[in-house]
A and B are shown apart, each in its own frame.
Chain A
Amino acid sequence: MSAANYNKIEFLVACASRHVRDGENVFGGTGMPLLAALLAKETHAPRAILISEAGFIDARPKNVPLSVADSRYYYGCSASIGLIETLGFILQAGNIDVGFLGAAQIDEYGNINTTYIGPFEKPKVKLPGSGGGNDIASSAKRLILMMTHEKRKFVKKLDYFTSPGHLEGPGSRKKWNMVGGGPSVVITDMCQMDFDPKTLKIRLMSVHPGITVQDVLDNVMFDLIVPKQVPTTPEPTQEQIDIMHRLDPNGVYLGKGGE
Chain B
Amino acid sequence: MVRPLTTPEIEDKIIPLDEAVRKVDDGAHIFWGGFGYQRPPIAFASELVRQHKRNLTIYTCGSEVDVEIMAGAGAASRFEIAFVAIEALGLANNIRRRVVEGKVEVEDYSNLAMAMRFLGGALNVPFMPLRSLMGTDIVNKARYRGEKKLKVIDCPFTGEKICLVPSVQPDFSVVHVQRVDKKGNAQIDGIVGEDLEGSRCGKKLIVLAEELVGEEEIRYHPDQTKIPSLYVDHVVILPWASHPMQVLNYYDYDLEHLMTFHSLTRTEEGWQEYLEKYIMGVQDHYEYLDILGWEHLNKLRAKKPWGY
Contacts and interface: CB of A to CB of B under 8 A. Distances in A.
A35 to B, nearest CB: 13
B95 A66 contact: no
Contacts of A230: none
A127 B61 CA distance: 15
A7 interface: no
A82 to B, nearest CB: 4
Given A82-B194, A128-B85, A129-B83, A162 B138 contact: yes
B31 interface: no
Interface in A56-95: 56, 62, 66-75, 80-84, 87-88, 91-92
B190 A71 contact: yes
Interface string A115-149: 10000100111111111111100110000000000
A83 B35 contact: yes
A192 to B, nearest CB: 25
B82 A92 contact: no
Contacts of A56: 191
A164 B134 CA distance: 8
Contacts of B248: 71, 74
A167 B134 CA distance: 10
A108 interface: no
B274 interface: no
Interface string B107-123: 01111110110010000
What does DSSP make chain A's interface, helix, strand, loop or mixed? loop
Interface string B245-281: 0101100110100000000000000000000000000
Interface residues of B, number: 62
B21 interface: no
Nearest to A75: B306
Contacts of A52: 191
A74 B137 contact: no
B192 interface: yes
B195 interface: yes
Given A74-B248, A123-B99, A160-B137, A83 B193 contact: yes
Q: Residue among A70, A129, A175, A176 with the most chain B CB within 10 A? A: A129
B216 to A, nearest CB: 25
B91 A74 contact: no
A17 interface: no
Contacts of A74: 190-191, 248, 307-308
Contacts of A67: 36-38, 87-88
A92 B130 contact: yes
Interface in A25-47: 30-31
Nearest to A113: B137
A84 B115 contact: yes
Q: Residue among A134, A160, A164 with the most chain B CB within 10 A? A: A134
Given A70-B38, A82-B196, A84-B115, A131 B307 contact: no
B111 A127 contact: no
A82 B62 contact: no
A101 interface: no
B18 to A, nearest CB: 28
26 contacts: A54-B193, A67-B37, A69-B38, A70-B246, A72-B306, A74-B191, A81-B192, A82-B193, A84-B115, A120-B141, A123-B100, A125-B91, A125-B100, A126-B92, A126-B95, A126-B99, A129-B82, A129-B83, A130-B82, A130-B138, A134-B113, A158-B137, A163-B136, A172-B135, A176-B161, A177-B160
Given A82-B191, A83-B35, A134-B132, 19 more contacts: A52-B191, A55-B190, A66-B37, A69-B37, A71-B252, A75-B306, A83-B192, A88-B112, A88-B116, A115-B137, A125-B100, A130-B82, A132-B82, A132-B83, A133-B110, A135-B111, A138-B132, A162-B136, A162-B137
